[in-house]
Amino acid sequence: MSMQFKVITNNGDDDEHTYKVLSKEEQFRHFKNVTASVLQDAMNAWGDIWNELQGKVTHGHMITREVEGGFTPDCGWPEFLEKMWILKHHLDYAKRYCEGKE
């Protein structure tokens, strides 16, 4: 089965189909901006998780009396686990984006 292709030219008259080729500097600026945004979202998710742990665990090893029976997040387990998933998602996306595998 053979296919025929039609060559489409663009002389710049059609604004809808005119695209600007970005310079390497512009591409790098976009890369930095996207990466910064994704990592800020990851930091915000980490901050939410950290706030849930404040006052319940001290220096990573001392457990206060109110959580001796086990940790229960104030926001509830579904929301806490969603925050953990969001953090993982942002970090995974940032890693893939930096590797060029987005």
Structural tokens at position 62: 């001392």
Residue 98's Cβ-count burial label (10 Å; 0-12, 13-18, 19+) is middle
Question: The pTM is what?
Answer: 0.67
Interval 2-20 mean pLDDT: 71
Q: What was the pLDDT predicted at 70? A: 73
- Per-residue burial over 51-64, b if 16 or more Cβ lie within 10 Å, else e, is ebeeeeeeeeeeee
Q: What was the pLDDT predicted at 58? A: 59
Which three-class secondary structure state does DSSP give residue 94?
Answer: helix
Interval 11-27 mean pLDDT: 78
Interval 60-82 mean pLDDT: 77
